[in-house]
Amino acid sequence: MTIFEGNIQAIHEEIEKMTIIDTHEHLYPERECLKFDADAFMMFRHYCRFDLIAAGMKEDKIKIVFDSDAPLMQRWREFKPYYEAISNSTYVQSAHIAMERFYGENRLTDGNVEIVTQRIKDARKPGLYANVIRDACNIETCLNQGQNREEKPLFSYPDDPLLTPVSNWINNPRAYESVAGYADLLGRDVGSVEDLVDAARLHVRKVKKHGGVGIKFPVFPMSYPDMAEAKEAFARIIKDKTLWLPPENPIANVFYDALLREAQEQDLVACIHTGYWFNYRELNPSHGIFMFDHYPDVSFDLYHVGYPYVREAIMLGKSRGNVWMNMCWTYIISPHFACDALTEMLEMVPWTKIIGFGGDYAVAEKIYGHLVLARRVMAKALATKVCDGAMTLDKAISLAHHMLYQNPKNLYKL
Ligand SMILES: [Zn+2]
């Protein structure tokens, strides 16, 4: 064993014992989760589904794979060739690690699809989250952006002691559709920019009232709020209900100004999605510079290290005191990128601002797969710094604890 390998092992052994704050999940309340028709394909929903699309699988075939009413073996026959094509993806690797830990098989085969399905069904009983999140992962709490079975966003999880609420993604009000969506919250139709401002404030207060610790929204190139311009743009989207304004638009400037002021008032963290997601060019982390600089008393938790705009994200952690770097989702996007990013951050960003883990999953078991990968990457990045002579082994272990526990606890005041 080399000195490097020895250091990785020593750090990894310590990380495995650590209690973790999981800073980002999309879990259903356990009671809702238990009502789903569970089967082996449940392990490959969500991100693996996007891999299937990337492998060329057509939507009608994907529907069959995830249709719990279709015969199991027919679903497997559709899935199998594309499953093989995506077998190198870390999304799949993470699912396999979880499947092995909880259901005893490290990949699906002709011979075990039915067995794994039965084991998954058998596990769907009260206590599932405690078994997975608390006992297998050693997670103290998950900051959760959850939904019910009808996919309606939730603000609280009164029956789930392991879930701490963070608001769901707050839409940029750039089209009639997204504006009209605020009627529920407001209790009336959204008829003006003033109504939208009310909705923004109400949203933040509602999150706070239910014990939430953060509000989440996508980054966008914000600019100075101008009510007259916002009213003019509002009139245009009311007139043409198919019109989509660009992400940088005067309505959003006024809306997010209200949201961020209220977040500051209520002492909530602004959780900001950056990078990877549909039109990721709109989600470049550097788009956030205006809001980071004009709301200096708001703490921004910058998610996903802006992949693929990684260095732009790290630069923000380096240059702004109110921007934290959150590694959620990263280790399953690519452990290689995550390791490089974390190593670079350890050379650039105050360690007090690095948030180590968020599973970013809707299926609890898969958090375990992500966490196994995260521990390996963190141990490797920290061992690199020990071998470089930049820190002692003890310091590296202490930083791991801070990234996985103390830093998120401090940032979110848990
Ligand atoms: Zn997410």
Q: How far is the CA of 370 from the centre of ligand 1 (A)?
A: 13
pLDDT at 196: 96
Residue 201's pLDDT band, with cuts at 50, 70 and 90, is very high
What spacing in Å lies between the alpha carbon of 303 and ligand 1's midpoint?
9
Predicted confidence (pLDDT) per residue in 32-64, tens digit: 999 999 999 999 998 999 999 999 999 999 999
CA 244–ligand 1 middle distance (angstroms): 24
Q: How far is the CA of 273 from the centre of ligand 1 (A)?
A: 8
User: What pLDDT shows up at residue 46?
Assistant: 87
Rounded to whole angstroms, the Cα distance separating 111 from 325 reads 43
Q: How far is the CA of 360 from the centre of ligand 1 (A)?
A: 5
CB of 318 closer than 8 Å to CB of 347: no
Q: How far is the CA of 25 from the centre of ligand 1 (A)?
A: 6
Give residue 153's pLDDT.
Answer: 92
Ligand 1 geometric centre to CA of 329 (Å): 7
CA dist 386 and 4 (Å) reads 8
Q: What is the pLDDT of residue 34?
A: 95
Summarised one tens digit per residue, pLDDT across range 362-384 is 999 999 999 999 999 999 999 99
What's residue 160's pLDDT? 97
Q: How much is the CA Rg of the chain, to the nearest whole Å?
A: 22
Stretch 108-137: mean pLDDT: 97
Distance in Å, CA 232 to ligand 1 centroid: 33
The answer to whether the Cα torsion of 101, 106, 108, 109 is positive or negative is negative
- Ligand 1 centroid vs 164 CA: distance in angstroms? 15
Q: Is the Cβ–Cβ distance between 25 and 145 less than 8 Å?
A: yes
| Ligand 1 centroid distance, CA of 26 (Å) | 6
pTM score, whole prediction: 0.96
Say what the pLDDT of residue 242 is.
Answer: 95
Going from the Cα of 110 to the center of ligand 1, the distance in angstroms, rounded, reads: 32
CB–CB of 382/396 below 8 Å? yes
Q: How far is the CA of 356 from the centre of ligand 1 (A)?
A: 15
Yes or no: say if 236 and 243 are a contact pair by the CB < 8 Å rule: yes
Question: Which residues, 6 or more positions from 69, have their beta carbon under 8 angstroms from its beta carbon?
Answer: none
Going from the Cα of 24 to the center of ligand 1, the distance in angstroms, rounded, reads 6
Q: How far, in Å, is the centroid of ligand 1 from the Cα of 144?
A: 9
Q: How far, in Å, from the CA of 289 to the mean position of ligand 1? A: 21
Question: What is the b/e burial string over 250-266, where b = at least 16 CB atoms within 10 angstroms of the residue's CB?
Answer: bbbbbbbbbbbbbbbee
12 CA distance to ligand 1 centroid (A)? 26
Q: What is the pLDDT of residue 243?
A: 96
User: What confidence score (pLDDT) does residue 215 get?
Assistant: 97
309 CB-contact burial (10 Å; exposed 0-12 / middle 13-18 / buried 19+): buried
Ligand 1 centre and the CA of 146: distance in Å?
10
pLDDT at 265 over 90: yes
- For ligand 1, the distance from its centroid to the CA atom of residue 142, given in whole angstroms, is 12
What is the distance in A from the centroid of ligand 1 to the CA of 220?
17
Q: How far is the CA of 169 from the centre of ligand 1 (A)?
A: 9
pLDDT tens, residue by residue, 88-99: 999 999 999 999
Pair of tokens at residue 374: 């995260």
For the segment 226-236, the average pLDDT, to the nearest whole number, is: 97
74 C-alpha to ligand 1 centroid (Å): 31
Quote the ligand 1 centre to 292 CA distance (angstroms): 21
Rounded distance from Cα 84 to ligand 1 centre (Å): 26
Going from the Cα of 121 to the center of ligand 1, the distance in angstroms, rounded, reads: 26
Q: Is the pLDDT of residue 151 over 90?
A: no
Residues 6+ apart with CB under 8 A from 135: none
C-alpha 250/C-alpha 276 separation (Å) is: 25
- pLDDT average, residue stretch 117-132: 97
CA of 226 to the centre of ligand 1 (A): 31
